Structure 1
Amino acid sequence: MCGILGYVGTGFSVSRFAGALRLLAHRGPFGEGIAALPNGAIGMTRLPMSGAAAVPLPPQEGQRRVAYNGEVYQAGCEIHGEIRLLLDGLQRGVLPDGMYALASWDPQTRQLTLLRDEFGIKPLYYSYQPERGLLAFASEPRALLHLLGGARADAEAIAQVVAAGVPLEGQTLFQQVRLLLPGEVLRFDLSQERPRLCQRQRLATAPASEVDSLDEQLGETLERCRQTFRPCALLVSGGVDSNLLGSYLDPQLQRFHLCLEGDEESLLPHPRLQRFELRQEAFMPLLRRAVGNFGGATRMSSLLMYQRLADGIGEQGYHCVLLGEGADELFWGYPRHLELWRRRDAPEPRRFAAAWFGEYRRKAALLAEPAGRRVAERIEELAHEALGQGLEAAIGQFDLHYSLEPLLRRADHLLMSRTIEARTPYLHGALAQRAGRLQRIVGDTAKAPLVALLEQREKRWQAQPKRHFRLPFERWPQALGEMRRHLAERLPALHDLGLEGLDAPSVAALPGDQLFTLTTLSLWQQEYGASL
């Protein structure tokens, strides 16, 4: 796991670039380096996981210099072998199994290539401003904003977060700063004075060889994801996904679990389980830090939970943890999957969008017009376009972009704030391609293949209702009160962001999930105010 950085433009400053690279030191405290480009540079910080041998950074492969963040899951590969597999995959048009973001400079073709893995496990932000002759990118927003010298708030993306809880179509809350989409490749021609985008494409992971059963496949994939010379632990939530992973692992492997004040536990007993507690009294200070590390506003109250986990795991000295992320999206584990599948016919766009974004039109009413109307219409346009591919494809598209990618980025930014690599076995091997061919819903049972496998492997397991990994606001009155007071004090600043319909009575009436989204927006405005 590493941090990567790049800048091409006439205003290139070595000292500013070095300062931006220092902002990624937590992603790679075991080495850093810079390589020159025409009118710029690429840089990299390193947290070695597959091998500890020292290498020049960014690594050189032939004539190419490659800034690389992530892992390719190929037995026996260290960093140079992983980079060769990625460069070969780019040439062939199919990607190797792994999690990565990459920037490759080829002096022969004078091209700079940016790449993000198929599911978006590793983040990459970029700003391409052809009118200024500027291209910049980084693993995290703070470093990119330092390179750019700041950015304006993006009113359209802010409206999207208010209504949907997440920016749409790769936008961020900063103008002219975007996320590379999952599986996206961008190629820039640097042969002229100004960088020019010459190709944009989407690539998928090469089909993996399958074994006879889901049981064998998951065990094989988990073993591949565990390969590191560093101690590894498992995050345990108490649900199907983490318990199933745990059934394959050595009983002596460390487990970590987050206990929420006022919440009931449903954990199977384990001798190597360590608990971290999250109490309401820590809510606002911890949330402020989490928003700063995440670099945006969000509806995901698990943001706070991941910051607490990261702090606890970091204090224990671990740099690698296994997560159950991706199982709900690939194997259909959410209530929305049950509801949509029971009907079988494609719903109208409003109802389909509501399955992901809730009452987005009611939330959009807080925005000044025409912004509120426009964001609601755009959400419905996206739903209509997705449904044109068929129901299953539409579910997959919305799950990837508006559920899985934000969850993965949350895990990356919060865990990496304490130099911890997250590994996600459900997103590797042949599990994704196998999931699409299985009967994922059986009767009233979502994620049926994984539930059946867990019942087979863990006799102590008892079926229970789906428990979302989120804060129990209905039992956290202190946190609700803190958010209401914070928003009431910040009304003028929030009006400046376009929330003209937000006033003291509406703040007093907002439900917990919407309070959380708006509180993260306000904290983002405060934490990043110097860059706006």
Structure 2
Amino acid sequence: MCGLTGFIGLPGPDAALASHGRRMANTLVHRGPDDEGLWTDADAGVCLVHRRLAIVDLSPAGHQPMASASGRYVMAYNGEIYNHADLRRALESEGAGLPWRGHSDTETLLRGIEHWGLDETLRRAVGMFAIALWDRQDRVLHLVRDRFGEKPLYYGWVGQGRDSTFVFGSELKALRAHPGFASPVCRQALALYMRYLYVPAPYSMHRHIYKLEAGCRISLSVPVPPPPEAGLRPPSRHGNLSLVRWWSLADVARQGAADPLPDDAGTLDLLEQALQRAVAQQSLADVPLGAFLSGGVDSSLVVALMQAQSSRPVKTFTIGFDDPAYDESPHAAAVARHLGTDHQVLQVTGTDALAVVPRLPVMYDEPFADSSQIPTHLVCAAARQSVTVALSGDAGDELFGGYNRYFWTPRLWRRLGAIPYPLRQVLSGSLTALSAPTWDRLAAPWQRRGSDGVARVGEKLHKLGRSLRGVRTADDLYLRLVSEWQDPAEVVRADGMLPAGPTTALDDPLPGTGLPDLAARMMYRDSVSYLPGDILCKVDRAAMAISLETRVPFLDHRVAELAWRLPPSMRIRGGQGKWALRQLLDRHVPRTLIERPKQGFGIPLGDWLRGPLRPWAEPLLDPARLAREGHFHPAPITARWAQHLAGRGDHTASLWAVLMFQAWFETVA
């Protein structure tokens, strides 16, 4: 795991290019504390810089930027290719096995690109990666991001007119370090952020700076074109720049529908074999390795498969909170005892969690308002004390139907869809008429203790009530459920209509076949939006802030492709998600250790905003300050803040979005 950055622009002296490159790379030391490398091409105005966290081949033979054997290609690369040993054997069998300089996957990638070409090498690679590749022969820069967006890659333009430079990097802070950077806040991105609590690709919070979407490749030749009027979506061409999608989840969904698997034990065996292979390949490293363990289905299955293939106890990590309502550590400890792992629990207090808050703007580099970022960073910090690599159970929910909304929303719509639209609006108001704590008290006698119980009922009913406003179709309901500020124009100040900009993956048409039911459509949309924009971003920044590499076995694309061939009944059955994963986990862990209501990785943030965080939050939400800075309309924010403080509503998520933007703008922008 590493960090990369660089630029391409006007030709200039190597010393000047190197000076700018080092300035950018110095912002990424946390992503790569072990080594720094820099390469320039003065004639083309190209600079590639790399910060290395050594995981595979710790020797100088893994140093980057690395040149290919022929010298044609130079590459800076962030990630891991889990099947690179298989790729090496394939290259050797095809006569491309020149003497290897070392055993790094970087060298394997370069050899593959020379022998097979870039696109075929990407197709064969299993892993997570962000790549900057300079073709010295054709004078073309290629930027590539992995299939699901596990590794970040930003790009964009700094400077003016003919002095415009194309910059790229693993984090925005590297781009901001270029002397030509002067990009204001992008209002379209701010509006999307207030809706989704993260900035979806291709946007970033800065104008003319973008995220490369998952599974996409940019190819750019000199001279660099000026910045486009709006962000680009694949496929696009802008001057000498082309943007294409080299891997598509939509294709996977269509192909899965055309070739479904039977609902039987043989399919479960295939799935377990695919997961065993993914876990085995991702458990290879030349540094200490472990896993996160929450005691839920996904992380427990990953750890179970790790332990089954290991000759020694796997190191596992969780955190325990002093508030029992948010503490999952006893469940994780029970699973760890059963599997025989070397388990560590870091007990944290509210004070420990609150201490993370001031670091979030720099850690996440742009506004990011998933509050589970705080415990995620704490568990990463706990793991980093013992290991350099940690496997996680992320993406199990999106691929196998784990979120409550996947089975509650279809049930709900079957009932609500038959109600006339005006009456649905009345119901919307009635759900928010009672406070969230009142709903919790009313629901307590009916709450089941099984896995299909729901934690924090009142909070969810309030969100449902807000979500029903204006809903006419089942797909409308999904978009409302994943939106926090339902009408961003209500709160984002843009002197009228927000200007038009690039669409996001949520605006793309659904695959033409293969998504007949609402749950599948929701899983697909989450996989191309929420997963890369929120979940993977959250874990990458939280972990890389303290130089920890995280790996996600469920995102081995062969596992994902198999998941999309499963019949719906193997994802959701009997009102319960992740049915297939639960059957596999039953082979390793007693069901009694796992079954409980889905809780999420939460903290009592709403209470903290009324208590210990209030002195920090109040100045950031001051109406006069909001009006002076000019990003928000103060009135709706002030109203929600007053209601939250009085306990008349739980507005934690919407207020946290404003606070994270304000803290970022104060600290970073």
Verify: 1:320 aligned to 2:364, yes or no: no
Aligned to 2:593: 461
Verify: 1:48 aligned to 2:54, yes or no: yes
Aligned to 2:133: 104
The question of whether the paired residues in 2 share the 8 Å contact of 1:284 and 1:482 is answered with: no
Identity, in percent, stands at 23
Could you tell me which amino acid in structure 1 is paired with residue 247 of structure 2?
Answer: A
- Aligned pairs (5 A) from 1:35-434: 35-37=39-41, 38-55=44-61, 56-61=63-68, 62=70, 63-74=72-83, 76=85, 78=104, 79-85=106-112, 88=116, 90-92=118-120, 94=123, 96-128=125-157, 131-132=161-162, 133-147=164-178, 148-190=180-222, 196-204=239-247, 212-250=269-307, 252-262=313-323, 263-265=326-328, 266-269=331-334, 270=336, 272-314=342-384, 316-342=385-411, 347-358=473-484, 360-361=486-487, 364-368=489-493, 374=498, 385-387=508-510, 389=512, 390=515, 392=520, 395-428=523-556, 430-434=558-562
The question of whether the paired residues in 1 share the 8 Å contact of 2:484 and 2:653 is answered with: no
The question of whether the paired residues in 1 share the 8 Å contact of 2:201 and 2:533 is answered with: no
The question of whether the paired residues in 2 share the 8 Å contact of 1:349 and 1:380 is answered with: no
Equivalent position SS for 2:576: coil
Could you tell me which amino acid in structure 2 is paired with residue 47 of structure 1?
Answer: L
Quote how far apart the aligned CAs of 1:238 are: 2.1
CA distance in 1, matches of 2:173, 2:526: 27
Normalised by the length of structure 2, the TM-score is 0.72
Indicate how the Cα distance of structure 1 residues 258 and 329 shifts in structure 2: closer, same or farther if over 3 A, else same: same
The question of whether the paired residues in 2 share the 8 Å contact of 1:455 and 1:461 is answered with: no
Alignment equivalent of 1:31, drawn from 35, 39, 52: 35
Could you tell me which amino acid in structure 2 is paired with residue 57 of structure 1?
Answer: Q
Quote how far apart the aligned CAs of 1:443 are: 1.8
Normalised by the length of structure 1, the TM-score is 0.89
What is the number of equivalent residue pairs in this alignment? 524
- Aligned pairs (5 A) from 1:505-524: 505-510=639-644, 511-524=651-664
Equivalent position SS for 1:333: coil
- Aligned pairs (5 A) from 1:475-494: 476=608, 477-479=610-612, 481-482=614-615, 484-489=617-622, 491-493=624-626
CA distance in 2, matches of 1:111, 1:146: 24
Quote how far apart the aligned CAs of 1:403 are: 3.3
CA distance in 1, matches of 2:606, 2:541: 27
CA distance in 1, matches of 2:400, 2:64: 39
Alignment equivalent of 2:577, drawn from 442, 446, 454: 446
Indicate how the Cα distance of structure 1 residues 104 and 380 shifts in structure 2: closer, same or farther if over 3 A, else same: closer
Equivalent position SS for 2:402: coil
Could you tell me which amino acid in structure 2 is paired with residue 525 of structure 1?
Answer: F
CA distance in 2, matches of 1:48, 1:189: 31
Single out whichever of 54-63 and 76-85 deviates more from structure 2: 76-85
The structure with the largest alpha-carbon Rg is 2
The question of whether the paired residues in 1 share the 8 Å contact of 2:367 and 2:661 is answered with: yes
Could you tell me which amino acid in structure 1 is paired with residue 272 of structure 2?
Answer: D
CA distance in 1, matches of 2:218, 2:127: 19
Aligned to 2:96: none
CA distance in 2, matches of 1:83, 1:165: 38
Indicate how the Cα distance of structure 1 residues 492 and 359 shifts in structure 2: closer, same or farther if over 3 A, else same: closer
CA distance in 1, matches of 2:205, 2:362: 13
Indicate how the Cα distance of structure 1 residues 173 and 199 shifts in structure 2: closer, same or farther if over 3 A, else same: same
Single out whichever of 161-170 and 393-402 deviates more from structure 2: 393-402
Q: Deviations over 1:318-343 (max 9, x none)?
A: 21111111111111211121134445
Q: Deviations over 1:121-147 (max 9, x none)?
A: 000111136944320001111111101
- Aligned pairs (5 A) from 1:3-42: 3-10=3-10, 13-37=17-41, 38-42=44-48
Equivalent position SS for 1:35: strand
Aligned to 2:466: none
CA distance in 2, matches of 1:384, 1:220: 35
Equivalent position SS for 2:305: coil
CA distance in 2, matches of 1:188, 1:481: 48
CA distance in 2, matches of 1:479, 1:66: 47
Single out whichever of 193-202 and 461-470 deviates more from structure 2: 193-202
Quote how far apart the aligned CAs of 1:115 are: 0.2
**What residue ranges of structure 2 are gaps of 5+ in the alignment?**
86-102, 228-238, 257-266, 418-471, 645-650
Single out whichever of 114-123 and 143-152 deviates more from structure 2: 143-152
Indicate how the Cα distance of structure 1 residues 91 and 433 shifts in structure 2: closer, same or farther if over 3 A, else same: closer
Indicate how the Cα distance of structure 1 residues 86 and 280 shifts in structure 2: closer, same or farther if over 3 A, else same: farther
Indicate how the Cα distance of structure 1 residues 470 and 233 shifts in structure 2: closer, same or farther if over 3 A, else same: same
Quote how far apart the aligned CAs of 1:194 are: 7.9
CA distance in 2, matches of 1:443, 1:264: 27
Aligned to 2:447: none
Aligned to 2:98: none
The question of whether the paired residues in 2 share the 8 Å contact of 1:162 and 1:364 is answered with: no
Aligned to 1:473: 605
CA distance in 2, matches of 1:182, 1:115: 9
The question of whether the paired residues in 2 share the 8 Å contact of 1:353 and 1:379 is answered with: no
CA distance in 2, matches of 1:193, 1:296: 26
Indicate how the Cα distance of structure 1 residues 381 and 203 shifts in structure 2: closer, same or farther if over 3 A, else same: closer
CA distance in 2, matches of 1:380, 1:30: 39
CA distance in 2, matches of 1:211, 1:81: 33
The question of whether the paired residues in 2 share the 8 Å contact of 1:65 and 1:104 is answered with: yes
